[in-house]
Structure 1
Amino acid sequence: MTTLLHLDATARRRSISRELSAAFADAWRERHPEGGYRYRDLAADPVPFIGEAWTELCAAVLALPRTDPERLGELVRTSAQAAAWEIVAPLLTELLAADVVLIGTPMYNYSIPASLKAWLDQVTFPRMSLGHRRFVVTSARGGAYSPGAPKAAYDYQERFLRDFFAGHFAVIDTVFVHAELANSREDPALADRRAEHDESYARALVTARDLAAEY
């Protein structure tokens, strides 16, 4: 049975990134009626930032020849580490159970929300390969950051996540679905680009649904 882990990171209850991730998730669940599905709202139920006890667990991992994420709990030695592990364990269990990881996220200040970064920090340990899992990121960006756009060089959202998944998890199958110029809905300075946004948004919805049929 294949399993989907669905994460949303935006602070907005009604948002484009949520709509895009929902489009993928709904289509995926239609295709896999018997599949496993786990949803986590990282904004409504935020993951705590890592603390010193987490770094101690991380240091213990470095002493091992390789990382077996399912046995990390065996490294716990102190009450503080036990408390840190209580936070990590359910997050890591969800991640390890997933065949597909879906992340809906906005671009905040050219990068990702702190809520998503906190989750990434909690579940990431040295030499922990997740190479057989597939990652899908659906995102909303206030401006235009696609190749060739004047601000393309400021896109630290896709660049960070792609490099993170490849560098830490050895994941090479990461697909991004972007809706751009979302701020044209609210910013008078971008009002003349609303049609571009509408086209980008509509295309992203179709892409998210179609992509789910391949996963």
Structure 2
Amino acid sequence: MPALLHIDASARRRSVSREVGDAFAAAWREAHPAAAYVHRDLAADPVPFIDEAWTQLCDHVLEGSEDGVTRIVDLPSAARTPAQRRAWGIVEPLLTELAAADVVLIATPMYNYSIPAQLKAWLDQVTFPRMSLKARFVVATARGGAYSPGAPKERFDYQERYLRDFFAGHFAVEDTVFVNAELVNSRIDPGLAHLRERHEESYAAALSTARRLGGEY
């Protein structure tokens, strides 16, 4: 039975990234009515930053691995001290959700050209050296400006670039799909008001793409 892990990272309770992500999730759940669905809201339920005990878990797992590959099943035994067991207590539910997922949907805004701190905290908690996952990743984004190919600010996009490289480098996932809604700030910034029509087009296209992909995955 397929499983979807849906991650929301926006600090806003109502946001464009949440709307685009919800469009994918709704279509996916309609296509898979009996499937498992887990929603984790990183704004409502923040994940703590990793600490030294977490790094020690990493060290112990690598030390005990003959081929240098991290296996999730080995992690509980790597927690040898009270602090490491507390660290594992944080990691375990997050990692269980991730390992069980066939599709991971991440809905995130762009903050300061990159990703929110709460999403980075989640990534740090669930990522150990040389892991591999079975999941496919879909990222639904909202960006205040325009960062698509050819846009003046294309080179400042450290959101898609970072996540694409992260999933490829750590999880060996090479086919992450991005659904981007751009120029969201044209809704509130008078200096971008002349771009509102372009935003509405981008927003409508993102919703349509998200619904289509949700039905296909």
- 1:28 matched to 2:28: yes
Q: C-alpha displacement at 1:74, in angstroms?
A: 1.1
- 1:144 matched to 2:114: no
2:102 paired residue among 99, 103, 106: 99
Instruction: String of CA shifts for 1:144-203, please: whole Å, max 9, x gaps.
Output: 000000000000000000000000000112100000000000000000000000000000
1:31-110 → structure 2 map (5 Å cutoff): 31-63=31-63, 64=65, 65=67, 66-110=69-113
Identity %: 71
2:136 aligns with: 134
Q: C-alpha displacement at 1:213, in angstroms?
A: 1.6
TM-score (norm 1): 0.98
Instruction: String of CA shifts for 1:65-96, please: whole Å, max 9, x gaps.
Output: 22111321111100000000000000000000
The one-letter code matched in structure 1 to 2:102 is D
Is the 1:144–1:181 Cα contact (8 Å) retained in structure 2?
A: yes
The one-letter code matched in structure 2 to 1:17 is S
The one-letter code matched in structure 2 to 1:166 is A
Instruction: String of CA shifts for 1:23-62, please: whole Å, max 9, x gaps.
Output: 0000000000010000000011000000000010111122
1:118 paired residue among 105, 118, 121: 121
Instruction: Report the number of matched residues.
Output: 214
Secondary structure at the counterpart of residue 213 of structure 1:
helix
Q: Which runs of 4+ in 1 moved over 3 A?
A: none
1:15 aligns with: 15
Is the 2:183–2:195 Cα contact (8 Å) retained in structure 1?
A: yes
Is the 1:21–1:138 Cα contact (8 Å) retained in structure 2?
A: yes
Is the 1:146–1:152 Cα contact (8 Å) retained in structure 2?
A: yes
Unmatched 5+ residue regions in structure 1? none
Aligned-CA RMSD value: 0.6
Unmatched 5+ residue regions in structure 2? none
- For 2:125 and 2:149, locate their aligned partners in 1 and report how far apart those are by CA, in whole Å: 32
Is the 1:61–1:126 Cα contact (8 Å) retained in structure 2?
A: no
Is the 1:5–1:94 Cα contact (8 Å) retained in structure 2?
A: yes
